[in-house]
Every structure is written in structure tokens, then in C-alpha cells.
A and B are shown apart, each in its own frame.
Chain A
């Protein structure tokens, strides 16, 4: 079991560029989510999904898109990167009826 995997580990973007952060899990979890971690602000929910074909917004969704075409994958798209999106991004998954989330190792994104 690889658990939750994220790629890339590090990324530098210029303002206005777009990119996709990849997330995959092999635990057959229904629930997947994306968080960003910023100093002094904890983990804030960007988007989440309760199953394939279903996504919803979290606390800070602006500037990000997601899709869930399979149970395993939950990519996060930055449409037009801004310096305010410089952060560490974590993907997580869990069973729908459990609240213990499994997190990936994170992607550190810098937007210049």
C-alpha cells in the first residue's frame, strides 16, 4: 500500500502560469480533499469530494479547480497562479464513515 501519493514534491511557477497537482490513493477511500498550510493559519480546506463525480468547495476554493473522475485520483488545478497561492498543499483521503484522514507528503509551491 502506497497510501496517499502527491506529485510533484516541489514546484516553482511564475504569476499567471497554470499547473496541476496530482494526488492518488490506493486505499479505495471514498472521501478525498485538498488543504493548504500557511504559517499561523493551520490547514485550510480548498476542495473535497465524497466520491467519483462529486466535488464541493471548502473554505478557500478561489483560484483552484478539482475533478474526481475515478475513486483513486483527485487532481488540483491552479488556473492562473498568484503569489498568494505560495503554500504547502496536502491531499488527504478517508473512508466516508471514518474521520481519520490519511495525508500525502505535501507539495511545496512557490509562485513568483
Chain B
């Protein structure tokens, strides 16, 4: 049972435009969400996170939106740059549970074309 799903395996955008990556989850107990970015032959790196008590968190060009009623979150990158080309994973967790394991989605390959 895939509790975190990223339904788009790939996304291609032009440099300077907005990139929107989407993520859906099924477990209503998840209360903290994160996005990671992964370049080829490297480990994932943390990008941005959001708590379920918020509906938006912004960090420079990156903004994460959370819609709890729809169990949906999205990552907006504005403006997109060629260096943003990478695989993006969303992840979710229940903060107060033992171990607080992260559950990851399948990833979306973003390609930003110059």
C-alpha cells in the first residue's frame, strides 16, 4: 500500500517558468512533510518541509503548499533554473510516533530546459 504517491514520474519546464511538483498521501496521521532533491550518483538532500499546522512554507525560490483536506502537497519552484534538474522526492511522517519513520514517494524527475 503506497501511502505517499507522486503520480508524475517526470516533468519538463522551460528555464524561468514555474515548476509544480505534486504529491498525495493516504495516511491521515501524517503531520510533517518534506521534499528532498536528488542528483544522479548522489544521496538525496533536504530541500524544504512543512508542518500540518501550516498550509504554506516558503524558502527563496521554493514554496511548499499543503492541503490537508485533499491530502495533497505541492512544491513550487519559481523561477526554475537548469540546476534544478533532479529527482524530487516527497516524504511524510507522524512526528510523535516511535522512530518517526519517513515514508517516501516514488520521485519525479524534473528537467529544466535552457
Contact = CB atoms under 8 A, between A and B. Distances in A.
Question: Interface of chain B, helix or strand or loop or mixed?
Answer: loop
Interface of A: 4, 31, 33, 35, 40-45, 48, 50, 56, 58, 90, 92, 99-106
Contacts of B36: 103
A58 B101 contact: yes
A106 B43 contact: yes
Contacts of B41: 105-106
A4 B45 CA distance: 12
Residue with the highest number of chain A CB atoms closer than 10 Å, among B43, B46, B103: B43
A106 B42 contact: yes
Residue with the highest number of chain A CB atoms closer than 10 Å, among B6, B93, B103: B103
B107 to A, nearest CB: 5
A56 B100 CA distance: 12
A101 B46 contact: yes
B45 A48 contact: no
A41 B99 contact: no
A33 B103 CA distance: 12
